[in-house]
Structures are given as C-alpha cells and as structure tokens.
Structure 1
C-alpha cells in the first residue's frame, strides 16, 4: 500500500507542478503577445480601457504567482530527487493546452469576456486558438500516459 501511495505522489507532484508552470506560461504568452504587443484584446473588454488594463494586470499577477509557485515546486522536487522531468513536461503541456482551451471556450464564448480579435469573422481565430490548445493538451496527455505506463 505504501509503495502505491509513493508512486501516486511521484507521478502527481511533478505533473501538477508542471501544469502550474504551463498555465502560467500560456497566460504569459497570451498577455504579452495578444494583450500588449498586438493589442487585440484585454482580459475584460466589456468596460473602459482603464478597466481592461486593470483586468490585464490581474491576469499578469495570476500568471506570475503560478510560474513562481510551479518553479519552486519543481526545484523542491529536484532537491529531494523526486523530479521526473518527462512528467513535468507532460504537465506543462497539459497546463498550457488546458489554459488555452479554457480561455477559448469559457472566456471567449461562454462568458464573452473578450474575443481573440475583433474582426467581422472571428471563426478562423477561434478555430486556430482552440486547435493550438487541443494540440498542446493532446501531446501532454500522450506524454503523461506513456510515462505512467512505463513507470518513468
């Protein structure tokens, strides 16, 4: 029983820490590229420019907390010789893809906080956005399954 618990922890911790990093990384890419460089949208576009920028700041803070916490967990796992790097990478891709899909489906379509880009036909942008998320998520899940089935 004890070895099963330890095996579950050995799988769960690097995957979870990687997922935190992946969510933070993808939120950072979204924030820097689409909110700041391209200026296609803010996290919340339903109010004034000031509120939109403030919402971007909250997203940025969330992203930084996840990145710092995720990297601290990964470093702690490494220090304790428990870091399974392939599982951490799988978690990173699952986190990044999961964030991308959540943003594309929940934030863009269900809550209507913002669109990828405000143009007449948003469909190509939505398809590309969600396809990238599905690709990252799929690769991460395949990596995870292979590592878990091979007992890393």
Structure 2
C-alpha cells in the first residue's frame, strides 16, 4: 500500500523567507561591506571619476540601496504575517531559516552578477589590484548559501512529512 502524504503547505512560508533573506542579504552587504569595512560604495566602479569619487553621491546611492533593502524587509514581514498559519507546522522554523539563508544567497548571486559583472558599478573590493577573485568568491558564497538554504528547506519538509 502506498502511503499518501499531505500536500506541501510551505510555499507561502518559503516565499516569505526568501524575500526576508534578500532583505537581510542587502542589509549585510550594505552595513558590512559599504560601512564597516568600507570596501566599496554603490558607485565606486563607475568609470566617470566625478561619480566614482563623489562620496556624497555614493552615500546617497548606499542610502537608497538600504531603503530598497528595508522595503524588501517590510514586504517579507507582510508575507510572513500572511503565512503565519504555517508557522505552527512541524519544523516550520527550519523551513523559514532555510528559505532566509537561500534568499540571502540569491541576493549575493543576483547582486554580484548584475552590479559587479554586468553593470560594473562596483566590485566587492575596490582597494585591490584585481577585484575579480573577490567578486567570484562573493558569487560562490551566493551559490553556497542557496544550496544550504535549499537543503534545510528540503530536509525540514521531508522530516515533517515523515512525522505525519
């Protein structure tokens, strides 16, 4: 006899976690790399020296980046509020954590590909002779975080299904 499993109800929770992870990834990037380590600002890779070297303009661009991260966080919280019914399910905390880790990885991958490689508006490190290895490590961290997040969601969902 084949065992029937309940439908996966984690979709809203996973989507909320991914959006929150995107937000947290943005905040981590902006706070750690832009402010604390001061490795780059949003526009430090722009060819025009008037833009690249204008700290006021770069600070504004960094601030707008934080506003976008904040808006993503608010959207993610709203999505999480709507998915709150799923939070009582077995292993839902692991599902949410995995989705958030995956979302942070997605942020690194998209931001690294778009801003670092395609647009070239900045690189992870602007204070080194060759920023490419640092950019590649940033992209690799995105892939790794996405894989860990996917594994956590998958493991928690499988364990919850087995407990039913």
Q: TM-score range by the shorter chain?
A: 0.7 to 0.9
Q: 1:116 aligns with which of 118, 124, 129?
A: 124
Provide runs of 4+ in structure 1 moved above 3 Å. 147-152
SS at match of 1:114: coil
Q: How many aligned residue pairs are there?
A: 145
Mapping of residues 73-84 of structure 1, within 5 Å: 73-78=79-84, 81-83=85-87, 84=92
Distance 1:11 1:114 in 2: 36
Distance 2:7 2:95 in 1: 13
Higher Rg of the two aligned structures: 2
Structure having the larger proportion of residues in helix: 1
Please report how far the alpha carbon of residue 42 of structure 1 lies from its aligned counterpart in structure 2 after TM superposition.
Answer: 1.2
Structural RMSD (CA): 2.1
SS at match of 1:116: coil
Instruction: After superposition, give the CA deviation of every residue in 1:107-148 in whole Å (9 maximum; x if it has no partner).
Output: 101110101111112133123212221111110111223334
Matched, 1:125 2:131: no
Question: Structure 2 regions of 5+ residues with no counterpart?
Answer: 1-5
Give the alignment's TM-score, normalised by structure 2: 0.78
Residue in 1 aligned with 2:3? Answer: none
Please report how far the alpha carbon of residue 150 of structure 1 lies from its aligned counterpart in structure 2 after TM superposition.
Answer: 4.4
Please report how far the alpha carbon of residue 13 of structure 1 lies from its aligned counterpart in structure 2 after TM superposition.
Answer: 0.6
Residue in 2 aligned with 1:134? Answer: 143
Q: 2:73 aligns with which of 67, 73, 86?
A: 67
